[in-house]
Amino acid sequence: MPGFELWSDAERKELMDVVESGILMRYGFDAQRKGHWKAKELEQAICDRFGARHAQLVSSGTAALTTAMAALGIGAGDEVIMPSFTFVASFEAVLSTGAVPVLVDVDETLTLNPAAVRAAITPKTKCVMPVHMCGSMADMDALQAICKEHKLLLLEDACQSIGAAYKGKSLGTIGDAGTFSFDFVKTMTCGEGGVVMTNREDVYTKCDAFSDHGHDHKGVDRGADLHPFLGYNFRISELHAAVGLAQVRRVDEFLAIQKTNHAALKGFLSSVPQVSFRQLPDAEGDSCTFLSWFLPTEELTRSVVAELKAQGILGGNFYWYDNNWHYIRKWDHLKNATALYPLNEAQRTALLHLREQDFSASDAVMGRCISTSISLLWTEEQVKEKGEKIVAAINKALKNAAVPSQN
């Protein structure tokens, strides 16, 4: 899956440009940096590759979400509708602005169920935030229609879906703003980093300042900059941007390998009639970082997980239902509103309500789902071996459970 698997001289070269100049900060020190502006170059490369008008690099995907929300004016008391299956950073970013995360059910796209979104809208709803999990997309037509009807903002968390597209448009460039994460295990990496993409100039201008202590970047030097509003230090370093600059040029290389390996592995699992696959609103747009598949029942899925573990091949196969980072079921710190500082009352009330909220529709999906990460390093022989072992584990669990074919 991640670009770090194919580390090369291209990344080393970009890094050495920065090391030799000695200027690690993205702003200032014009004379000393020997013409190297890695963050600026990467921002332009992101716009060129993914089709956004503007890109603002920041220090992480979490910082990107926080910056985007601030630029969109999302804050105290505003409700942000988001999925019950995501990474913890998604709700952390919402809480960091003073807003209220409203978690709703997912369907077999593993993303927001549009009907659940519509049912969750209240007068306090300001934004719908689809999270394009595991390399693929939400139903963007349905979500755009809902946002248009109710005059809501649409913020795409595309941190896990770099290179995926929906009807020809890159995920992260469809809504009012979108974000990528460039952490170590993303399709392209900076080591640590993230970006806000937007086609709205007003949003970009605010992101540019907010992520750098509110600097307007209009002065002759940093000391002459004005501060039109409060901001934070979410800057990316030139070292991190240098890695990303090499990686963004290789994204299509990475995606091609992922798609080849994904298709080969899916071919093996397709031989089992009881296995079904994730619903894709646009199959052509899947970045193929994961192959997500379903079994008929939670009980059978758990048996397969146990068999994969017994055979020593569970690694790389994720049973999100029991995962501590990605599904509402295990987020006790969120549901108990456990924080090091006092949350505002609207946040605390909403979080405590999650303990009683019915997520049975999501449970019915996630309890049956296993996602297999796709490596860029697999050989044809390794894909074959992996596929055969997974199929053998499934068939053994099926035999023990005596589950009839769905056909």
Q: What is the pLDDT of residues 80-104, one digit of tens each?
A: 999 999 999 999 999 999 999 999 9
Q: Flag whether pLDDT at 406 surpasses 90.
A: no
Cα three-residue angle 191-292-390, rounded to 5 degrees? 100
What is the predicted pLDDT for the residue at 346?
Answer: 97
| Contacts of residue 327, Cβ cutoff 8 Å, sequence gap at least 6 | 84, 85, 320, 321, 362, 366
Q: How confident is the model at residue 407 (pLDDT cuts 50, 70, 90)?
A: very low
Tokens of 342: 């006092």
pLDDT of 189-248, one tens digit each? 999 999 999 999 999 999 999 999 999 999 998 999 999 999 999 999 999 999 999 999
68, 111, 129, 340 from 153: Cα distances, Å: 11, 17, 8, 30
Q: How confident is the model at residue 3 (pLDDT cuts 50, 70, 90)?
A: confident
Q: Find the mean pLDDT for residues 175-193.
A: 97
Determine the distance from the C-alpha atom of residue 23 to the mean position of all C-alpha atoms in its chain, rounded to a whole number: 30
> Do the Cβ atoms of 359 and 365 come closer than 8 Å?
no
Place of tokens 């929300």: 69
Alpha helices in 6-96 (DSSP H): 9-21, 38-50, 61-71, 88-96
Q: Flag whether pLDDT at 120 surpasses 70.
A: yes
- The fraction of the chain above a pLDDT of 70, given in percent, is 99
Give the residues across from 196 on adjacent strands: 56, 179
Mean pLDDT of the chain: 96
What is the predicted pLDDT for the residue at 1?
Answer: 66
- CATH, domain range 252-401: 3.90.1150.10
pLDDT of 311-353, one tens digit each? 999 999 999 999 999 999 999 999 999 999 999 999 999 999 9
pTM, two decimals, is: 0.96
Q: Of 305, 325, 324, 326, which Cα lies nearest the Cα of 315?
A: 305
The H or E element that residue 153 is part of is strand 153-157
Question: 142 exposed, middle or buried (CB, 10 Å; 0-12, 13-18, 19+)?
Answer: middle
Q: Of 363, 364, 344, 360, which Cα lies nearest the Cα of 352?
A: 344
In the DSSP assignment, the letter for residue 112 is B
Catalytic residues: 186
pLDDT of 127-168, one tens digit each? 999 999 999 999 999 999 999 999 999 999 999 999 999 999
Question: 284 exposed, middle or buried (CB, 10 Å; 0-12, 13-18, 19+)?
Answer: exposed
Q: Which residues make up the CATH 3.40.640.10 domain(s) of the chain?
A: 3-251
Helix (H, G, I), strand (E, B) or coil at 54: strand
Q: Which residues make up the CATH 3.90.1150.10 domain(s) of the chain?
A: 252-401
Query: 3-251: what fold?
Result: Aspartate Aminotransferase; domain 2 (3.40.640)
